[in-house]
């Protein structure tokens, strides 16, 4: 027999979902059979499985320890050797400054470190992971775009962050260094799609399968050859900022896919810049009413890396 007191990490989900996550090798048929036979109880009573768990609820599994261990695999958290750059953390969320060049999540290269695994290992080392809930990053950045990535440390916070990004209740700001003089704020709207080479295309006319996108930008420095922009995403599609700025004639410095090859070569040779100078530098929640309401209007910020700041200083001096 095993019992659990539900904490806020696991509250807000159905009882059957919680059990299936804990007994992660058990077939659904077994879990629902145990519910019918009253071998799984909630607060000492028979449960259907559809009940929504609240903090303080007691869940008891009237099962042999051998049965539980046979149906359960521990959460797989891989050892990481890179310490995350944490810019904000409380009991609900964690925000890290992702280095440009590091993927947010693991891909085909299973040996490469990614920020999601680094944060999971960090939380494991702190003893901040539960036996059931495995957090994941709430937003993504291109591998070569640096800056803020957030993670909910418990289920309620993770759900709130996901909803905030989905429903445009998160004010996300980027800084971008671009070619050319940008003297006025502007809006770039269009239709986002990809060509046969997986390159993003943004057009004024709607194409089949295309999605609407909108990007706002404001110059924070305007020089003779280069400008530094504050960029706000209204929608969030892959490579949206990079191609949006390119189509108005101001490609991002260092961008190997949408940028100016000659300018990229200059900044690579003189500053070692091998990626687009685009950073997610601030994040602010809006219109929150639940677990993250206390974070409304709190701005979380980070700085670009030292190489990028050298490029920005060079631009400002020109």
Q: Tens-digit pLDDT profile for the chain (318 aa)?
A: 888 888 877 888 899 999 998 888 899 999 999 999 999 999 999 999 999 999 899 999 999 888 888 888 777 788 888 999 999 999 999 999 999 999 998 866 557 799 999 999 999 998 888 767 888 999 989 999 999 999 999 888 998 999 999 888 999 999 999 999 999 999 999 999 988 888 899 998 888 889 999 999 999 999 999 999 999 999 888 999 999 999 999 999 999 999 999 999 999 999 999 999 999 999 999 999 889 999 999 999 999 999 999 999 999 987
What's the pLDDT score for residue 198?
82
What pLDDT sits at residue 162?
92
Catalytic choice (57, 142, 171, 305): 142
pLDDT of residue 110: 57
- What integer pLDDT is reported at residue 109 of this predicted model? 59
What number does CATH give the domain 2-70?
3.10.290.10
Q: b/e string for 276-291 if b means 16 or more Cβ within 10 A?
A: bbbbbbbbbbeebeeb
142 is catalytic: yes
What are the boundaries of each domain within the chain?
A: 2-70, 86-166, 170-317
3 state SS of 91: coil
pLDDT of 251: 97
What pTM did the predictor assign? 0.82
- CA–CA separation, 266 vs 269, rounded Å? 5
According to CATH, the superfamily of the domain at 170-317 is Pseudouridine synthase (3.30.2350.10)
Give the C-alpha distances (Å, rounded to integers) separating 142 from 59, 103, 147, 240: 41, 7, 10, 10
pLDDT at 240: 95
**CA–CA separation, 106 and 112 (whole Å):** 7
Specify the pLDDT at position 306: 93
Please state which of the four CATH numbers 3.30.2350.10, 3.40.50.150, 3.40.50.300, 3.40.220.10 is assigned to the domain occupying 86-166. Answer: 3.30.2350.10
> How many helices (H) and strands (E) are present in the chain, helices listed first?
8, 14
| 2-70 and 170-317, same CATH topology | no
Name the burial class of residue 108, with classes exposed (0-12), middle (13-18) and buried (19+) by CB atoms within 10 angstroms of its CB.
exposed
Q: Which two tokens stand for residue 149?
A: 């990535």
């Amino acid at each position: 027999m095993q019992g659990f007191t539900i904490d806020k990490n696991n509250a807000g989900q159905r009882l059957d979902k919680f059990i299936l996550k804990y007994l992660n090798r058990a077939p659904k048929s077994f879990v629902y059979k145990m519910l019918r036979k009253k071998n799984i109880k909630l607060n000492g009573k028979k449960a259907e499985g559809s009940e929504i768990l609240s903090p303080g609820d007691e869940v008891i599994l009237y099962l042999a320890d051998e049965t539980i261990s046979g149906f359960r695999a521990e959460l797989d958290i891989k050892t990481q050797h890179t310490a995350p750059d944490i810019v904000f953390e409380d009991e609900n969320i964690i925000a890290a400054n992702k280095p440009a060049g590091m993927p947010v999540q693991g891909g085909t290269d299973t040996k490469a470190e990614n920020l999601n695994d680094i944060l999971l290992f960090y939380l494991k080392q702190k003893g901040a992971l539960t036996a059931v809930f495995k957090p994941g990053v709430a937003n993504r950045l291109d591998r070569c775009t640096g800056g803020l990535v957030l993670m909910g440390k418990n289920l309620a916070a993770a759900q709130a962050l996901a909803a905030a990004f989905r429903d445009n209740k998160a004010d996300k700001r980027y800084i971008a260094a671009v070619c050319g003089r940008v003297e006025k704020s502007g809006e770039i709207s269009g239709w986002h799609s990809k060509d046969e080479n997986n390159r993003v295309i943004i057009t004024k006319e709607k194409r089949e399968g295309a999605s609407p996108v909108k990007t706002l930008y404001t110059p924070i420095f305007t020089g003779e050859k280069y400008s530094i922009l504050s960029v706000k995403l209204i929608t969030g599609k892959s490579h949206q900022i990079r191609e949006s700025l390119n189509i108005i004639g101001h490609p991002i410095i260092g961008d190997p896919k949408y940028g100016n090859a000659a300018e990229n070569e200059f900044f690579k040779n003189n500053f070692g810049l091998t990626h687009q100078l685009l950073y997610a530098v601030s994040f602010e929640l809006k219109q929150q009413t639940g677990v993250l309401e206390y974070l409304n209007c709190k701005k979380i910020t980070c700085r670009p890396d030292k190489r990028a700041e050298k490029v920005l200083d060079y631009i400002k001096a020109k």
